[in-house]
């Protein structure tokens, strides 16, 4: 693992690191914020999954998360959104290929050789981080924005027992039913829609519910709200009688101005679960 940068930040350290990934067969870059408490022993960790077109850097510099995490003594992990490189398949559209991994393990060519983002985020990167940094593998929670909100929700429901809590900012909530999902799931997983269901938070919620604390924020002025379909997720959660906080925020859009406005709420929400 190579250290690309380390900066003092709110009493802790914001680092950026690169390593060779077995899952993606590429070099991968991630950001990691460690609060001051990490000098004394392992701290709980919150995973932040980013959205379409993002890298590890977007949330790291725009979400305003480190100050709130430092107050709570929580580490933050910012993975990249896909494998990258000249040898990695790509697409001219912003919503497929590099920058748009959708947090799935691709089974179809030309994506399958490198686009193994579920395994990378769920298995390989946690092992690497807990082996090399003072984070607690037993106290982990997950959040994300847009495509990353989709990933956070599906991982929280698909990896039972892994996370203490889950939240999302404007998640792609029902990808099997919309343009932000059907194109990508067909490309990565093939035409059998049965294989898509484990990557749709609405379908997973309706079938199995959720047994950890849940917080979702969605802006009412989001230009992409018809693609995100929060109403489907909210209805599934109500039908499953999930005890979650599902909030519509009047006038907010899809940007990091929205994310940063409610980051304090989300980190406080996760801190309550991580320190319970």
What pLDDT score does 211 carry?
95
Torsion of CA 37, 260, 127, 70, to 10 degrees: 0
Determine the Cα–Cα distance for residues 76 and 223; give it in Å rounded to an integer.
28
Number of residues that make up the chain: 276
Determine the Cα–Cα distance for residues 68 and 62; give it in Å rounded to an integer.
13
Contact 239, 180 (CB under 8 A): no
Write the DSSP symbol of residue 165: -
Write the DSSP symbol of residue 167: E
What pLDDT score does 73 carry?
98
What is residue 249's three-state secondary structure?
strand
Q: Per the structure block, which two tokens stand in for 256?
A: 């990091």
Per-residue pLDDT of the chain (276 residues; tens, 9 = 90+): 999 999 999 999 999 999 999 999 999 999 999 999 999 999 999 999 999 999 999 999 999 999 999 999 999 999 999 999 999 999 999 999 999 999 999 999 999 999 999 999 999 999 999 999 999 999 999 999 999 999 999 999 999 999 999 999 999 999 999 999 999 999 999 999 999 999 999 999 999 999 999 999 999 999 999 999 999 999 999 999 998 999 999 999 999 999 999 999 999 999 999 999
Q: Per the structure block, which two tokens stand in for 229?
A: 């379909």
pTM of the model: 0.97
CATH number among 3.30.70.360, 3.30.70.890, 3.10.129.10, 3.40.50.1820, domain 2-274: 3.40.50.1820
Determine the Cα–Cα distance for residues 78 and 208; give it in Å rounded to an integer.
28
Write the DSSP symbol of residue 201: H
Q: Per the structure block, which two tokens stand in for 136?
A: 């607690």
Q: Catalytic amino acids?
A: 146, 222, 254
What pLDDT score does 170 carry?
98
Distances, alpha carbon 199 to alpha carbons 120, 194, 204, 221, 259, in Å: 15, 10, 8, 26, 23
Helices (H) and strands (E) in the chain, counts: 10, 9
Q: Where are the domains of the chain?
A: 2-274
What pLDDT score does 263 carry?
98
Contacts of 61 (CB under 8 A, 6+ apart): none
What pLDDT score does 67 carry?
98
Determine the Cα–Cα distance for residues 102 and 95; give it in Å rounded to an integer.
9
Residue-wise DSSP of 212-232:
S-EEEEEETT-TTHHHH-HHH
């Amino acid at each position: 693992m190579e250290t690309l940068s380390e900066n003092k930040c709110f009493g802790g350290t914001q680092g950026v690191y690169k390593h060779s990934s077995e899952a993606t067969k590429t070099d991968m870059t991630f950001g990691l914020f460690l609060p001051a408490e990490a000098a004394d022993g392992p701290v709980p960790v919150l995973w932040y999954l980013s959205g379409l077109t993002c890298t590890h850097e977007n949330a790291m510099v725009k979400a305003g998360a480190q100050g709130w995490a430092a107050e709570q003594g929580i580490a933050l992990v910012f993975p990249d959104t896909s494998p990258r490189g000249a040898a990695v398949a790509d697409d001219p559209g912003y919503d497929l290929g590099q920058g748009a991994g959708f947090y799935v393990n691709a089974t179809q060519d030309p994506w399958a050789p490198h686009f193994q983002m579920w395994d990378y985020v769920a298995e390989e990167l946690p092992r690497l981080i807990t082996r090399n940094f003072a984070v607690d593998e037993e106290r982990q929670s997950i959040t994300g924005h847009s495509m990353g909100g989709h990933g956070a929700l599906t991982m929280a429901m698909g990896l039972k027992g892994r996370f203490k809590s889950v939240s999302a900012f404007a998640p792609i909530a029902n990808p099997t039913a919309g343009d932000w999902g059907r194109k990508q799931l067909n490309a990565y997983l093939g035409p059998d829609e049965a294989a898509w269901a484990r990557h749709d938070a609405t379908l997973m919620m309706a079938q199995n519910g959720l047994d950890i604390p849940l917080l979702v924020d969605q802006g009412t002025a989001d230009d992409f709200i018809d693609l995100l379909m929060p109403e489907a997720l909210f209805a599934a959660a109500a039908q499953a009688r999930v005890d979650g906080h599902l909030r519509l925020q009047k006038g907010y859009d899809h940007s990091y101005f929205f994310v940063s406005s409610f980051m304090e709420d989300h980190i406080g929400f996760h801190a309550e679960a991580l320190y319970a």
